[in-house]
Chain A
Amino acid sequence: NAGVTQTPKFQVLKTGQSMTLQCAQDMNHNSMYWYRQDPGMGLRLIYYSASEGTTDKGEVPNGYNVSRLNKREFSLRLESAAPSQTSVYFCASKGLAGFAYEQYFGPGTRLTVT
């Protein structure tokens, strides 16, 4: 199993450009998540999807849109990138590990907006 995969690993955008971050998981998990990590801020939840066909806002959704394409894939779109969106983006999925749930994280996408 590859677990949670993310593409691309690195991206540089100019202000106003758009792009989509891709995430896929092969663990048959229902729930998927997008976080951003900024220095000194920890990770903050952008959007999540409890199951295929549903999405909900997290703590910092402004400037982002998401699509739960199918059970495996959950994409994050920046329609008009801003320097404040320079960050490392992590995708995660949630599933049972033993008798409890835990989240499994992808390797991250490092995005720079100039």
Chain B
Amino acid sequence: AQSVTQLGSHVSVSEGALVLLRCNYSSSVPPYLFWYVQYPNQGLQLLLKYTTGATLVKGINGFEAEFKKSETSFHLTKPSAHMSDAAEYFCAVSAGGADGLTFGKGTHLIIQP
């Protein structure tokens, strides 16, 4: 069984500040990890994914995440927030194969001008 915990349902940062969205997972097998972004009234867009190999993963829009097995974490970061980053962010885990994704409850990112 798998689970995902996203710490903080709402995170507020100033424009230009560091963005840090936290994600911890639980998985009985080596996990595949994903971050998705959802803008208001839209579908989900993949930001980045970790499958195997390099633990620091770079995604779109300047986001990156680091897989830390010892901490069972996959936190999402961006060095400098932009107003356009305001959205809902979801962390998800998969065991691979045909199984679906298990999502966290989401973090709403607010960017203050």
Contacts and interface: CB of A to CB of B under 8 A. Distances in A.
Tell me the dominant secondary structure on chain A's binding face.
Answer: strand
Interface residues of A, number: 27
Interface size class on chain B is: 20 to 34
Contacts, number: 59
Interface in B1-57: 4, 9, 32, 34, 42-44, 46, 49, 51-52
Contacts of B99: 48
Interface in A30-47: 30-31, 33, 35, 40-45
Interface of A: 30-31, 33, 35, 40-45, 48, 50-51, 58-59, 90, 92, 94, 99-103, 105-108
8 contacts: A30-B98, A42-B103, A43-B44, A59-B102, A102-B49, A107-B42, A108-B42, A108-B43
